[in-house]
């Protein structure tokens, strides 16, 4: 019997520093789990990273570290394609074509653009504005069916869908219209210091986030300091108790326990015990990731081999789609 063709997945992460627990729970951890059932392509989005100022030597180092960290988190190059965005020129080439099918007004509505331009008011560059078009190109250049991301990327995904549909109707059916793949639990891990805000590595307060390479004592300390509330009850109520609910979400994602089980486990106990348990569950989950990371980062030849292979395959797929797009757009061919 003929095997059903696997659906294709694409996702990416910016190499702007060590990933947070939010990146891990909302995205990267799920990427590993999808590898057996889908054809997966995962990339380190270095082109996106320069929308805010980067030191070139640091960006190169962080890109290598991001690749090592993805491998340590379980991305298996025997199963998935792993590559660096700037190694596949078709992303940028398609981005230009798609930018001519994207309206100024729709880019102006992107909340991430509004947030980032407020945060980097001295550098509101055109790349920051057209960032979602490049992201659409990342996805459409592989005709990906599904895009596993955290909740904060949903609006960008909707834009990618609109652009795909617009191009398809303006020319002729060309792109697969991608679906977001947002996990029910953990799609938005909140700051430990201000639980109304998303956990983000660019937060000025280092106690607001857990990094995947944080030492166990730092992880314990940050969870012990996490903002909760004064009623002392471990109960899931995101509106009323955002801090405790966020910690419960993290604990649930680490242990597989549901909220009712967690409430029962800590009934009558104080937040101290609860916070220690959350920290220990995270420390246990991250220990093997941290050990693998050190081993992989030291193996330069292996890392380069993975990236060369990844880039070669990714370029082969992307170039086919790009040349189809160029033909449809009416570019003369030699």
CB of 190 to ligand TYM, least distance (A): 7
**Measured at CB, which residue is nearest to ligand TYM?**
26
Q: Active site residue: 7, 201, 257, 328, which one?
A: 201
Identify whether the C-beta of residue 144 lies closer than 8 Å to the C-beta of residue 178.
yes
What does DSSP assign to residue 103?
Answer: -
CB of 181 to ligand TYM, least distance (A): 10
Q: Pick the closer one to ligand TYM by CB: 41 or 266.
A: 41
Residue 198 is a catalytic residue: yes
Smallest distance from the beta carbon of 144 to ligand TYM, in angstroms? 8
Residue number with CB closer to ligand TYM (11 or 102):
11
- Which residues contact ligand TYM (rule: CB under 6 A)? 10-14, 22-23, 25-27, 45, 48, 135, 138-139, 147, 149-150, 152-153, 187-189, 198-199
- What CA dihedral angle connects 201, 206, 208 and 210, to 10 degrees? 70
Q: Distance between CA 287 and CA 271 in Å, rounded?
A: 24
Structure tokens at 311: 């880039």
CA distance 152 to 120: 19
Give the residue with the Cβ less far from ligand TYM, 185 or 237: 185
Cβ neighbours for 263, distance < 8 A, ≥ 6 positions apart: 234, 235, 236
Nearest to 238 by CA among 183, 189, 182: 189
Residue 222 designated active-site: no
Tell me how far apart the alpha carbons of residues 127 and 132 are, in angstroms, rounded to a whole number: 9
Is 294 a known active-site residue? no
Q: How far is the CB of 268 from ligand TYM (least distance, A)?
A: 30
Catalytic residue among 116, 222, 241, 275: 116
Structure tokens of 63?
């890109």
Residue among 199 and 277 whose Cβ is closer to ligand TYM: 199
Q: Which residues are catalytic?
A: 116, 198, 201
């Amino acid at each position: 019997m003929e095997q059903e063709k696997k659906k294709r997945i694409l996702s990416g992460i910016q190499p702007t520093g060590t990933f947070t627990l939010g990146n891990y729970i909302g995205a990267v951890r799920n990427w590993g789990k999808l590898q057996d059932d889908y054809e997966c392509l995962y990339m380190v989005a270095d082109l996106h990273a320069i929308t805010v100022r980067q030191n070139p030597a640091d960006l190169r180092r962080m890109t290598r570290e991001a690749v090592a960290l993805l491998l340590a988190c379980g991305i298996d190059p025997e199963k998935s394609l792993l590559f660096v965005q700037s190694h596949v020129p078709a992303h940028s080439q398609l981005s230009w074509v798609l930018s001519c099918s994207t309206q100024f007004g729709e880019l102006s509505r992107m909340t991430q653009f509004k947030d980032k331009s407020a945060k980097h008011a001295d550098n509101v560059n055109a790349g920051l504005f057209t960032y979602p078009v490049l992201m659409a190109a990342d996805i459409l250049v592989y005709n990906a069916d599904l895009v596993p991301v955290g909740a904060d990327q949903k609006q960008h995904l909707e834009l990618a869908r609109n652009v795909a549909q617009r191009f398809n109707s303006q020319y002729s059916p060309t792109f697969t219209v991608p679906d977001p793949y947002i996990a029910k639990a953990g799609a938005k891990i909140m700051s430990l210091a201000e639980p109304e805000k998303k956990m983000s590595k660019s937060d000025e307060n280092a106690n607001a986030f857990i990094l995947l390479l944080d030492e166990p004592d730092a992880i314990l300390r940050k969870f012990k300091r996490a903002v909760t509330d004064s009623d002392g009850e471990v109960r899931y109520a995101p509106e009323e108790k955002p801090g405790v609910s966020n910690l419960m979400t993290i604990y649930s994602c680490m242990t597989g326990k549901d909220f009712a089980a967690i409430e029962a486990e800590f009934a009558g106990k104080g937040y101290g015990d609860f916070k220690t348990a959350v920290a220990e569950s995270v420390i246990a989950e991250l220990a093997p990731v941290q050990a693998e990371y050190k081993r992989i980062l030291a193996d330069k030849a292996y890392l380069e081999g993975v990236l060369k292979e990844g880039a070669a395959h990714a370029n082969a797929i992307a170039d086919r789609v790009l040349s189809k797009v160029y033909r449809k757009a009416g570019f003369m061919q030699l």
